[in-house]
Amino acid sequence: MNRFHVHLNVTDLEASLRFYSSLFAAPPTVREPDYAKWMLDDPRVNFAISRTGRAAGIDHLGIQADSAEALDGLGARLDAAGGTVVPEADAVCCYARSDKYWTEDPQGTRWETFHTLGRATTYHGAGATCASGPDGAAASNAGCCPPKHGCC
């Protein structure tokens, strides 16, 4: 079964950690200096927050596929929806390795469909131009950003 994904940019990670841990009645599943993620079953959601220098608010929405086949099906559905679909194979982003498809809805909201392959030790992979560090300053790392899109 696929899982809904929400990624928020936050300005105060510690305050957001306290708020969402209370709201979800659980600590984050993944906790890093600039990122946290809750893998919840009720509601079934992958909810992530990060402090990476982008404007506070919704960064993107998505669907986490539970298999490569399910991801391919989601990619076909995105293609049928008519928007530009940007594939991203073996991306390192948000402390995970994933295969992804990115698109935007008619309002410009970014959508990420992805299948996670495993953990990563960094927020971004090596070489991304869109990456920023925990202090919001530009960083020179990460292959996570297809054109016009961010990661996670």
Give residue-wise pLDDT tens across range 97-120: 999 999 999 888 999 999 999 999
* Chain centroid offset of residue 28 CA: 15
State pTM to two decimals.
0.76
Taking only the tens place, the pLDDT of each residue in 19-52 is 999 989 999 999 999 999 999 998 999 999 999 8
For residue 68, what pLDDT is reported? 97
The side-by-side arrangement of strands in the sheet containing 3-9 is 30-32, 35-41, 44-50, 3-9, 57-64, 110-119, 96-104, 86-93
For the chain, the domains span: 3-119
Radius of gyration of the chain (CA): 15
Q: Say which CATH superfamily domain 3-119 falls into.
A: 2,3-Dihydroxybiphenyl 1,2-Dioxygenase, domain 1 (3.10.180.10)
Q: What per-residue string of b and e applies to 6-20 under the rule 16 or more CB within 10 Å gives b?
A: ebebbeebeebbeeb
| Token output for 92 | 């390192």
